[in-house]
Amino acid sequence: MPSPSHRPPEYPGAVAPERQRRISSGGVEIQTHEWGDPDAPPVVLCHGMFDHGRGFDLLAPYLAERFRVVALDARGHGDSDWADAYTWHADLADVAAVLASLGRPAHLVGHSKGGGQATDTATSVPERVRQLVNIDGFGPPPEGFIPPGREGFEGTRMERFRMFLDRRRRASNGAAWRPYAGLEDLVERRQAQNPRLTREWLRYFLWHGSREVEGGWVWKADPLAPQGFGPWKPEWIGPGWRALEVPMLAVIGSELDTWGPLPEPILAERLSNVKQLERATVEGTGHFVHMEKPKETAALLLEFLER
- Backbone phi, psi, residue 152, to 5°: 90, -5
Q: What is the pLDDT of residue 20?
A: 98
**pLDDT for 2 beyond 50:** no
**pLDDT for 1 beyond 50:** no
Which is nearest to 18 in space by CA: 81, 77, 63, 84? 63
Task: Verify that 106 and 191 share a domain, yes or no.
Answer: no
Asked if residue 29 is part of any domain, the answer here is yes
Q: What is the pLDDT of residue 215?
A: 92
CA–CA dist 133, 111 (Å, integer): 9
Task: Verify that 211 and 92 share a domain, yes or no.
Answer: no
**pLDDT for 210 beyond 50:** yes
289-300, pLDDT tens digit by residue?
999 999 999 999
Q: Do residues 252 and 267 touch, judged by C-beta distance below 8 A? A: yes
Which is nearest to 219 in space by CA: 117, 64, 82? 82
Domain count within the chain: 2
Checking phi first, is residue 50 left (phi over 0); if not, alpha (psi -120 to 50) or beta?
left
What three-state secondary structure class fits 246? coil
What percent of the chain is modeled with pLDDT above 90? 78
What three-state secondary structure class fits 19? strand
232 or 180, higher pLDDT: 180
Q: Which residues pair with 20 in a beta bridge?
A: 33
Which one of 187, 221, 255 terminates a domain? 221
Q: What is the pLDDT of residue 152?
A: 45
Asked if residue 161 is part of any domain, the answer here is no
233 or 267, higher pLDDT: 267
Asked if residue 66 is part of any domain, the answer here is yes
Give the H or E element holding residue 251.
Answer: strand 248-253
Whether the pTM exceeds 0.85: the reply is yes
Task: Verify that 122 and 244 share a domain, yes or no.
Answer: yes
**Burial class for 150, CB neighbours closer than 10 Å (0-12, 13-18, 19+):** exposed
Structural domain containing residue 206 = 179-221
What three-state secondary structure class fits 217? strand
Classify the C-alpha dihedral 210-298-106-14 as positive or negative.
positive
104-141, pLDDT tens digit by residue?
999 999 999 999 999 999 999 999 999 999 999 999 99
145 or 57, higher pLDDT: 57
Q: What is the mean pLDDT of residues 274-287?
A: 98
- Backbone phi, psi, residue 129, to 5°: -125, 130
Q: What is the mean pLDDT of residues 230-240?
A: 84
Task: Verify that 131 and 190 share a domain, yes or no.
Answer: no
Q: What is the pLDDT of residue 226?
A: 77
Asked if residue 151 is part of any domain, the answer here is no
CA–CA dist 123, 105 (Å, integer): 14
Task: Verify that 119 and 91 share a domain, yes or no.
Answer: yes
Q: With cut-offs at 50, 70 and 90, classify the pLDDT of residue 172.
A: low
Cis peptide before 142 (omega within 30 of 0): no
